[in-house]
Chains A and B, each alone.
Chain A
Amino acid sequence: MPSEQDLSADVVIVGSGVAGSSIANELARAGISVIVLEAGPRVDRQHFVENFRNLENKPSYQGPFPSVPWAIHPPNQMTPNDYLHTTGPDAEAYQQVYLRMMGGTTWHWAGCAWRYLPSDFELKTRYGQGRDWAVKYEDLEPFYYQAEVMMGVCGPDPAVEDLGSPRRQPYPMEALPISYAAQQFRKLVSEKTPYRVVHEPQARNTRPYDNRPTCEGHNNCMPICPIGAMYNGSYSVYHAEAAGAHFVPNAVVYKIERDSANKRVTAVHYYDPDKGSHRVTGKYFVIAAHCIETAKLLLVSADEQSPDGIANSSGHVGRNMMDHTGVQVTFISGDKALWPGRGPLETNVIDNFRDGTWRNERGAYLVHMVDDNQVDLATSLAISKGYVGRELEEQIRYLASHTVRLFSHNEGLADPDNRLTLSQTHKDVLGIPHPEVYYKLPEYTVKSCEHTRGLFRELIGLMHGTDEQWTPGYFPQDHPAGSTIMGTDPRDSVVDGFCRTHDHENLFIASSAVFSSVGTGNITLTVAALALRVADTLKKELAHA
C-alpha cells in the first residue's frame, strides 16, 4: 500500500555501516540535522552470538546473519549465488559477502586496521600500473588518525616497527601482544628468511576503550565478537543517535531524484518492507551503501534524464570492480606444537611485499599467519580418516596443535571491463534487480599470486610442513572497491578527491566504491578516513551556507 511521508534533513545518508554512521556522528555533533536510511533492520549482539553457537557450518561468516527478505545480502560465498550473481572466467573470485543491517558489514570483519601506503595512492605515476587517486596520503593522514581514534585502533610504535605509512600521532592503543604461535612464526621468519613479521594494526581493544572491554581472545572476530572488544559500525550508530542523528531502519532506497536540470539531487525515495514509498529531501546526500549496493543504487535510479544511471556521465559507475584475492594453504607443521586459535584471528603479517619496484609488473601482497582455532576442522579430518576412540582423540590433538594456515591479500587492479550491472532475470521482493558482476582477474594479480605461492612453499619447507592443501582457484576477500571510482577527470571517473560526484555537486559517495586502487591493506580504515573527510567537507559547506 503506497504512502507518502515527507522526511527532511540537511544531510541524508544512505547506509548505516562504518562510513554512513561515522559521517552521521560527526555531523550531528556539529549540530547538523541528519537522517540515515538503512535498508536492513536494527540488530543486536546477543542474538548473533547465539546464532553462531547454533550454526553447524561455523566457517560460514554469513551464517549467523540470516537476512530479511526486503534487504537480502548474499547468503554465502557459493557460485551460483542466490543474490550476488557473478560471471566471467573468475566469477568465483568475486563472490563477495557483506551485511545489510544497522551497523553494516563490520559486525563480522577481523578488525585489521591498515593505513594505505603513500604509493598506493600513486600506482600509475610510480609504477605505470592502474590508476592514481585524486587524493594524496598526506591529505588523508589526519583523517586516518581520526578514524583510528573513533574505532579504537591498537598498533606498534613506529620507532620499533615502521609500517610505512607516516603518522603524526601514536596509535590510540598499544600493539596487541601476539600469541605463542605467532611468536614462533615471527621468530622463524626473522631467523631463517630476509623477511619480517609485524604486529598488525587492529581495531581491537588492548585496554578498556570507549566503554568497551579489553580483548579476551575469543578467536571469533569473524563472524561475531561476543564482548564488543572489536569495533563495529553499530557503535557509531549509537553515538550518532545520541548526538541527534535520526536513523530509519528497513528503508530500502531505490531512487535518487534530481532537479529538472539534472544538476542537484533533490531527494531519495525508499521502500518500507510493505513496499510503501517514502520521499526524503535534503541539501546534501551521501551514498554509503557498500561498494556493491552503492553502484547498484546509482544504476537502479536510471531514468529518462540519466539513462545510464545517476552520476554516470563517465560510464564508470559499476566498472573497475576490484578486490583482494589471495593464495591460501593449510599444512601440518612438523615442529613443535603451535596451537593456533589462541587470541584474536588476525594479528601478525609479513609485510615485505606491500611495495617495491617490482610493482611495475606484479601486484603487491601481504601475508597473514591466521590464528584460527582448528579443532573442529581437525576433528572432521580425523573422523574421515577412519579414527575412533583414543586414537581419534590423539589425532585431534595433534592436528589441532600443528595445523598452520597462511593466506595473502594480493592486490587487484582497476579494469573497466570488470563490471557490475543489474540482473535482467532476478529481482528481490521489492522488485529491485539483483546485482551481477563480471570478473576476470588482472594478469597483474595472477603474477602476484604466483610470487606468493613461492613464498608459501619456502615457508612450508622451513616449517617442515606436510599434507599441504592449497585452496584451488582464486577466492574473494570481501574487500570490493572501485565501483564509483575516484579521479581528477570526469570523463573516466565518478567522484573527485573529496568523494563528491562530478555530476552532482551535492551528492557524495562514502564507500570503498571510490577507491582507485586496492593496495594490500584491508580497506576499512581507509573507508572510514575518507568518510570522515566527507563529513569535514560537509561541515565546512553547511557552515558557509
Chain B
Amino acid sequence: MPDLARKILCSVLTAGTALVTLSMAPARADEPSAELLARGEYVATAGDCIACHTRPGGKPFAGGLSMTTPMGNVISTNITPDPDHGIGKYTEQEFEQSVRHGIRRDGSRLYPAMPYVSYSGMTDEDVKALYAWLMHDVKPVAETPPATELNFPANLRITMAVWNLVAGSTTPETGDSATFDKLRRGRYLAHALEHCGTCHTPRNMMLTEKEGSYLAGASLLGWYAPDITPSKTGGIGNWTEDNLVAYLRTGHVNGLSQAAGPMGEVVEHSTSHLTDADLHALAAYILQVPAMDDDVDHTPREQFGQVLNTPDIRTGELTRIDRLDEMDGQHVYDANCAACHGDNGAGTDDHYAPSLFHNGVVGSARPDNLIMTVLHGVDRTAGNEHAFMPGFDQKSDVQRLSNAEIASVVNYVMTTFGSGNHNVTAEQVGTMRSGEATKVP
C-alpha cells in the first residue's frame, strides 16, 4: 500500500487503541430501565436507522438495503441483536465505535453511506440508550445480507481512513440532549441524528460535505435534495416555522410542497414520529442556518403557476384497442394525471392529490424530482394518512409510459403549472429510470 497511507493507517490504529472511554465488557448484566429503552427507541427514530437498515419486505433492522453510490452498491448490515448475523456480540464500546467513528467490531471500516460523520455528534447518553434499545427491544433476525463489494479502490475499506481525515468528524455533544434549549436541540437533531446534511449538502470531489454549503442542495442520483436553507429565492426562506413543522410531520403542505422518494421515507419513518417540541426545534434551527442562494432556482419554487382554465375541445374520435400510439404531453396528462390532479391542475378539494401549481416540485428549475415522481409514484404514510400515487414506469400496473411520454408530460406540467419548459429529453428519463438509489430485494 502507498507509503503515506500506511503512515496514516498506523497512526490511526494507534490512536484507536487509546479510545477506552466506555466499558469493555458486554453490557448484559443489568436490565435497562424503561426510560432508557424509550429514549433509545426515540433516538433510533430520530436517527432513522430503520430506513437504511431494513430492505423492502424485510424484517426491521435486518439490513439488506442496497444503496447506489458512485463507488458501487453499499448494502446495509443486520443490526438486530442476533449474535451471528447481527450485532449481538457487540459491546457498548464497540457499538459506539461503529456509530460515531465508522469502525466495525472486527476493526474494518464502514463506508460513509452509514453517516457516522453525522452521528459522531451524538451524546454518550444517546449512544448508550440506542445500544440498549437495539440489544433489548429489537427482535434478532438470523439472516446475513450480501456483503458490499464496491469498485476499486473503494473496495479497500482501509482507504476510508484517509477519507475520514478529509471528512472530519463532529465533536460529540455533551450532557442530556433532552434538556437542550430549542436551537441547540434543533442543531443536535439536524446534525447528529436526522443527518439532513447527508443528503441536502453538496459534496466535493472527495464526496465529503462541502464546507460552507450546509443544506444548499445536492443530487442523489435521480432525486434531488433541494436547497433548504432560508434563502428567499433558492431555498425555503418564505416558509414559516409552522409550515416546516407541518411538512415534517405530515409530508405535505398544500401550496408549498410534498415529500416523496427518500424524503418521503424520512417523514414516514422518522420525522412524523418526533415530538411537537422537537419538530419546532428542528424547523427553527433549519430556518436560521446561513442562507445559500441556488444556482438555478432564482424564484421561490412554490410560487409558480396558477389554475388552468381551458375548455377540453376534443376530436370525438375513438382509437382501436390495439393502437397504443404515444401521446403528446397534454394528452398524456389528460389521460393519466387529470383524473386526480385535475384538468386545471388544482388537485383534489381535500388536497389528497396536491395542486401542481404552487408546488415546490413542479416549480423547481430542476425536473429531477418531477421525473422521479412520475416514474416511481408516491407511497408515504404519516400518522393516519397514507398518501399514494402510482408510478408510471415499466413495473406499473396502472399505466406504463415510455421515456418519451414521461419527458413530454413533465415538460407539459412544468410549462403549464411550474417554472417553465426545461426540455427534458427521453434520454434523460431513460437514465433516471435505471440510475436511482434503488432498493434491491
The answer to whether A and B touch in the complex, with CB atoms under 8 Å apart, is: yes
Q: Interface of A with B (CB < 8 Å)?
A: 40-51, 53-56, 63-68, 101, 207-208, 210-214, 216, 218, 226-228, 234-235, 238, 242, 250
Chain B residues at the A interface, C-beta cutoff of 8 Å: 312, 314-324, 327, 331-332, 334-336, 339-340, 348, 352-353, 377, 379, 386, 388-391, 395-400
Contacts beyond the supplied A54-B314, A55-B318, A68-B321: 4 A-B pairs with Cβ under 8 Å:
A50-B331, A212-B398, A227-B339, A227-B390
Q: Which residues of B contact A218 (CB under 8 A)?
A: 339
Question: What distance in Å separates the Cβ of B218 from its nearest Cβ neighbour in chain A?
Answer: 29
Contacting pair A42 B327 (CB below 8 A): no
Roughly how many angstroms separate A210 CA and B390 CA in the complex, as a whole number?
Answer: 10
List 28 A–B pairs whose Cβ atoms lie within 8 Å, in order of A's numbering: A40-B322, A41-B321, A41-B322, A42-B322, A42-B324, A46-B332, A47-B319, A47-B321, A50-B327, A50-B334, A51-B318, A54-B318, A65-B321, A66-B318, A66-B320, A67-B320, A67-B321, A208-B386, A212-B397, A213-B340, A213-B388, A213-B389, A213-B390, A214-B386, A214-B388, A227-B390, A227-B398, A228-B398
Contact for A216 among B332, B340, B379, CB less than 8 A: B340
Instruction: Give min CB distance, B341 to chain A, whole Å.
Output: 11
Query: Chain B's interface: helix, strand, loop or mixed, by majority?
Result: loop
Which partner residue on chain B sits nearest A66 by CB separation?
Answer: B320
Residues of B within 8 A of A213 (CB): 340, 388-390, 398
Q: Tell me, in angstroms, the Cα distance from A234 to B399 when the chains sit together.
A: 10
Quick one: given A49-B339, A50-B331, are A228 and B390 in contact (CB under 8 Å)? yes
What's the nearest-Cβ distance from chain B to residue A215, in Å? 11
Chain B residues near A226 (CB-CB < 8 A): 339
Identify B336's interface contact among A46, A56, A67, A212, CB under 8 A: A46
User: CA of A101 to CA of B391 in the docked complex: distance in angstroms?
Assistant: 24
Partner of A210, one of B315, B389, B397, B399: B397
Complex alpha-carbon distance, A48 and B353, angstroms: 22
Report the bound CA distance from A141 to B390 in whole Å.
Answer: 32
Given contacts A50-B334, A67-B321, A234-B397, contact A227 B314 (CB under 8 A): no
Measured between C-beta atoms, what is the minimum distance from B56 to chain A in Å? Answer: 12
Our pick among B318, B339, B396 for the contact of A63 (Cβ within 8 Å) is: B318
The A-B contact count (CB < 8 A) is 102
Q: Are B397 and A238 in contact (CB under 8 A)?
A: yes
State the CA gap A46–B334 with chains docked (Å).
9
Give A26 to B391 CA distance when docked, in angstroms: 25
- The closest CB in chain A to the CB of B387 belongs to A208
Chain A residues near B397 (CB-CB < 8 A) = 210-212, 228, 234-235, 238
Structural contact, B321 and A43, CB atoms closer than 8 A: yes
CB distance from A63 to the nearest CB of B (A): 7
User: Given A53-B314, A216-B339, A218-B339, do A208 and B320 touch, yes or no (CB 8 Å)?
Assistant: no
Knowing A212-B390, A228-B390, the reply to whether A66 touches B321 (Cβ < 8 A) is yes
Interface centre among B318, B379, B400 (most CB of A within 10 A): B318
What are the residues of chain A within 8 A of B312 when measuring CB–CB? 53
Query: Is A54 a contact partner of B390 (Cβ separation < 8 A)?
Result: no
Contacts of B336 in A (CB 8 A): 46, 49
Name the one of A49, A64, A216, A250 contacting B348, with C-beta atoms under 8 angstroms.
A216
In the complex formed, the residue of A with least CB distance to B381 is A208
Q: How far is the CA of A214 from the CA of B321 in the complex (A)?
A: 26
CA distance A63 to B317 in the complex (A): 11
Q: Which residues of A contact B348 (CB under 8 A)?
A: 216
Inter-chain contacts of A49 with B (CB < 8 A): 335-336, 339
Q: Which residue of B lies closest to A48 (CB)?
A: B321
Q: Are B398 and A45 in contact (CB under 8 A)?
A: yes
Closest CB in chain B relative to A437 CB, distance in Å: 24
Q: How far is the CA of A326 from the CA of B38 in the complex (A)?
A: 62
Determine the chain A residues whose CB is within 8 A of the CB of B395 once the complex forms. 211, 242
6 tightest A-B CB contacts, nearest first: A41-B322, A208-B388, A228-B398, A46-B335, A226-B339, A235-B397
Question: Please, how many angstroms separate the alpha-carbon atoms of A101 and B323 in the complex?
Answer: 12
A464 shortest CB reach to chain B, Å? 32
Contacts of B316 in A (CB 8 A): 54, 56
Which single member of A42, A68, A227 contacts B320 (CB below 8 Å)?
A68
Decide if B320 touches A44 in the complex (CB within 8 Å).
no
A212 to B327 alpha-carbon distance, docked (Å): 22
When distances are taken between beta carbons in the complex, the residues of chain A under 8 Å from B318 are: 51, 54-55, 63-64, 66
Min distance, Cβ A481 to any Cβ of chain B, angstroms: 25
**CB-CB < 8 A to B321: which residues of A?**
40-41, 43, 47-48, 65-68, 101
CA distance A49 to B312 in the complex (A): 14
Verify B322–A208 contact, CB threshold 8 A: no
Q: Which residues of A contact B322 (CB under 8 A)?
A: 40-43, 68, 101, 250
Name which residue of chain B comes closest to A45, CB basis: B399
Shortest Cβ distance from A211 into B: residue: B397
Q: A residues within 8 A CB of B324?
A: 42-44, 47
A42 to B321 CA separation, bound complex (whole angstroms): 8
Known: A54-B314, A63-B318, A68-B320. A44 touches B400 (CB 8 A): yes
List A contacts of B331 (CB < 8 A): 50
Find the residue from A54, A218, A235 having the highest chain B CB count within 10 A: A54
- Given A54-B314, A64-B318: A47 and B379 interface contact (C-beta under 8 Å): no
Looking across the interface, which residue of chain B has its beta carbon closest to that of A41? B322
CA A66 – CA B320 in complex, angstroms? 5
State A67–B323 Cα separation when bound (angstroms).
Answer: 10
Closest Cβ of chain A: how far from B412's Cβ, in Å? 14
Which residues of B have CB within 8 Å of A63?
A: 318
Give Cα A46 to B396, complex, Å.
Answer: 13
Assembled-state Cα–Cα distance A318/B83 (Å): 66
Give Cα distance in the complex from A494 to B334, angstroms.
48
Q: Would A207 and B390 be within 8 Å (CB), given that A43-B321, A43-B322, A47-B323 are in contact? A: no
Chain A: minimal CB distance from B352 (Å): 8
Which residue from chain B places its CB closest to the CB of A56 in the assembled complex? B316
Of the candidates B320, B334, B353, B390, which one forms a contact with A211 in the assembled complex, judged by CB atoms under 8 Å apart?
B390
Residues of B close to A227: CB separation below 8 A: 339-340, 390, 398
Min C-beta distance of A231 to chain B, whole Å: 10
Distance in Å: Cβ of B112 to nearest Cβ of chain A: 32
Q: Which of A40, A218, A226 has the most chain B CB atoms closer than 10 A to its own CB?
A: A226
